[in-house]
Amino acid sequence: MDKKIFQLSYILRSTAISMLILPIWWVDIQKIPLQPYLTIAALVPIISLILDIPFSVIADKFGLKISYFIGLIIFSVSFLTPLLLSGIASYIVFTILSVLADSLINGVEIAIIKSISGSNFSEYYSKLSQSFYLFTIPLFFISVIAYQFNTLLPLIIQCITIFLSAINLLRIKIMDDSIPEVQIHEGWSLKTTPKYFIILCSIILIYSVFDGAVQFQNRSIQLLLSDNLLILACLFACGNVISSVGLGRRVYNFINDRTTSFKISLITLIFVLSLILLSLNKLVSIIIGYIGISLIKGIYRPIMSELYSNLQPKQKWKASWFSFLSVGSGIILIAINFFFTQLSNQLQLLELLWALLILGTGMIFYVVIWKNERLELSYHDSSSLSNKTTTLIIDLIRSKLNIRQSYPIQYSSYNKVSEIKEIQETTTLPVVKIIDTDDHSLTYQYFSGIKLENLDSDKQHATIINIVELLKTREIEETTTQYPCSCVTLSHEDLHPGNILVSNKQYKVIDWDFSGMGYKITDEISLLFHPKLHLTLNERFKYLTDIAQYHSDICPIKLSVDKNTKFVETYLHNKIKEISNWNSTSKYAKKLKDEYLTLLMEVKKFGNTIDN
């Protein structure tokens, strides 16, 4: 549902309505001299580079949705400036508001796409781009018709569509926005290496060059056809048809399951041939060249963005990580454009220079990927107290992520790897897919989720209901006379909100190191009476009473529901002692112990109230 809602906002914020007429509006209608117009336009990308990262850091701290919403509102208001001001003052205010809006939106937009798409980032981003190109086709013609009717009308329509985009965005729930930004929880982070930075720089470089070539092609077409808006609108519309529902979709489907090397080689080849054809300056060659660029302009960004996303070094860097890409790309493009304009101002020669640059960059990227097919980085989770070693494995050829957890040989408290694997294959609880094993490690398919303990109460609710239902229906393997629970079942033995990853409507239970046959109540009480679960005491005991009905008829938990407060008190006492015995200096452990103490006091008070 969130994907469709965001898709609508993404389309509505399109500037297709104003893109064709804005240069004409400022120069011909507002009578702004060409020199100050071009000077201010040249300053825009530089100011954006300065503001992008600070604004993205703020977005990561206070929420992606609120930042994106404010950016859209400011962007919408910017199109009202011609109604209120005129001349150079109108252009300056419009530019300032647009730059502020871009800085609030840039990195945040891709971070939102990543958050709501989960493991289907590239595929969803590609479909989003294709629908964007398809639905903006009529907007080009609306722009031209509205401009003929009234020169201000396209700007008013643009203001309304972007405002509607902002209002629609409020319907989305973004999982990542609920992670608390406090010192105790820094989330996961990667230990980077020189090889990591070589790969990162090569991705940013080729992304920048691809972006620059598309921007250059758009400017070239606009310059060639600036005297005929209708033909220009038709050409852009045809390009969007090719990108969205025509050959562009077929090309994406063809390369989607191919290797990264194949994808980038094909995109590079199409770019180079298209730019060479455009440089010939013949009608047929220009049309074919434009078709070639249109084929891949909706393809390369999802592919490159996914590769870049896989290298994200810290969990708390969401919008800011994608802003680094935007800023890095912007700096590279400023340098390239400056260098090329010093060499020549002839359009045909510049197109050939771009073709040579793309060819060279593509070859460099191919060599980097060929030499570094797989990147392994040490993975640290600040809230984890385990002595396992975790490694993130980045498959650059397939653009896939895996996680390897290695168990220390000298510790005997963990189960054998073969036992852990067998239990995960047997349990009815949802688990992450195991890719590979050896004597001392398990390799999992990477699941991009947020720990249940880091979500707010609304986002925890659906997962709690679902997992409680699964806990109820676990098969009782045998019964004993043990107090307080006589039901033996396949048990996780460490089930708590920190071991449950949530992504959109999916969740996975992780860390099965101590699992095996155990008492049914162990998983139930460790989950329901964990302090990081945002439930009232009434809700906790209601869940416990409900789940107890699925124990055997001779189980004390089922027979003595009225005495369960005393049992919970005993459990919390023991848990606090256990945390004290960890001898951990971690801030996370200290805070967790304090939270258990607070919960224990509340349970005691709750029990006294019931007794009275």
Q: List pLDDT tens digits, range 80-121.
A: 988 888 888 888 888 899 999 989 998 899 999 988 887 788
Higher per-residue confidence, 187 vs 574: 574
Q: What contacts 79, CB < 8 A, 6 or more positions away?
A: 18, 94, 155, 156, 158, 159, 162
Q: What contacts 194, CB < 8 A, 6 or more positions away?
A: none
> pLDDT band at residue 411, thresholds of 50, 70 and 90?
low
> pLDDT band at residue 375, thresholds of 50, 70 and 90?
very high
Q: Report the alpha-carbon distance of residue 196 to residue 198 in Å, rounded.
A: 6
Higher per-residue confidence, 294 vs 569: 569
Q: Report the alpha-carbon distance of residue 351 to residue 336 in Å, rounded.
A: 13
In this prediction, residues 162-191 reach a mean pLDDT of: 72
In this prediction, residues 530-544 reach a mean pLDDT of: 91
Please determine, for residue 525, whether its predicted confidence score (pLDDT) is greater than 90: yes
- Say what the pLDDT of residue 122 is: 83
- Say what the pLDDT of residue 448 is: 82
> pLDDT band at residue 71, thresholds of 50, 70 and 90?
very high
Which of these ranges, 184-193, 535-544, 548-557, has the smallest mean pLDDT? 184-193
Higher per-residue confidence, 446 vs 284: 446
> pLDDT band at residue 155, thresholds of 50, 70 and 90?
confident
| pLDDT tens digits for range 202-240 | 999 999 999 888 888 776 666 566 566 666 667 666 766
What backbone phi and psi angles, to 5 degrees, belong to 413?
-75, -25
Higher per-residue confidence, 36 vs 445: 445
- Say what the pLDDT of residue 561 is: 61
Please name the helix (run of DSSP H) or strand (run of DSSP E) that holds residue 479, with its range, or none. Answer: strand 478-479
- Say what the pLDDT of residue 46 is: 80
- Say what the pLDDT of residue 219 is: 67
Inter-residue contact 321 to 112 (CB < 8 Å): no
> pLDDT band at residue 189, thresholds of 50, 70 and 90?
confident
In this prediction, residues 46-74 reach a mean pLDDT of: 89
Please name the helix (run of DSSP H) or strand (run of DSSP E) that holds residue 491, with its range, or none. Answer: strand 487-491
> pLDDT band at residue 127, thresholds of 50, 70 and 90?
confident
Task: Please report, for residues 108, 383, 411, 475, 601, the alpha-carbon distance to residue 598 in angstroms, rounded to integers and kept in the order given.
Answer: 37, 20, 33, 34, 5
- Say what the pLDDT of residue 499 is: 92
Inter-residue contact 261 to 52 (CB < 8 Å): no
Please name the helix (run of DSSP H) or strand (run of DSSP E) that holds residue 123, with its range, or none. Answer: helix 121-135
What helix, strand, coil percent values describe the chain, rounded to 5? Answer: 65, 10, 25
- Say what the pLDDT of residue 178 is: 46
Percent of the chain exceeding pLDDT 90 equals 34
Higher per-residue confidence, 36 vs 112: 112
Which of these ranges, 57-66, 181-190, 283-292, has the smallest mean pLDDT? 181-190
Please determine, for residue 179, whether its predicted confidence score (pLDDT) is greater than 80: no
- Say what the pLDDT of residue 307 is: 92
Please determine, for residue 185, whether its predicted confidence score (pLDDT) is greater than 50: no
Please determine, for residue 427, whether its predicted confidence score (pLDDT) is greater than 80: yes
Percent of the chain exceeding pLDDT 70 equals 90
- Say what the pLDDT of residue 223 is: 59
Please determine, for residue 184, whether its predicted confidence score (pLDDT) is greater than 70: no
> pLDDT band at residue 177, thresholds of 50, 70 and 90?
low
pLDDT, mean over the chain: 84
- Say what the pLDDT of residue 224 is: 60
Nearest to 202 by CA among 351, 379, 372, 392: 372
Nearest to 14 by CA among 150, 157, 113, 184: 157
How is the beta sheet containing 487-491 ordered, strand by strand? 478-479, 487-491, 516-519
Higher per-residue confidence, 424 vs 188: 424
Nearest to 75 by CA among 168, 155, 173: 155
- Say what the pLDDT of residue 183 is: 37
- Say what the pLDDT of residue 282 is: 78
Q: Report the alpha-carbon distance of residue 123 to residue 109 in Å, rounded.
A: 16
In this prediction, residues 518-524 reach a mean pLDDT of: 92
pTM across the whole model:
0.85
In this prediction, residues 121-144 reach a mean pLDDT of: 80
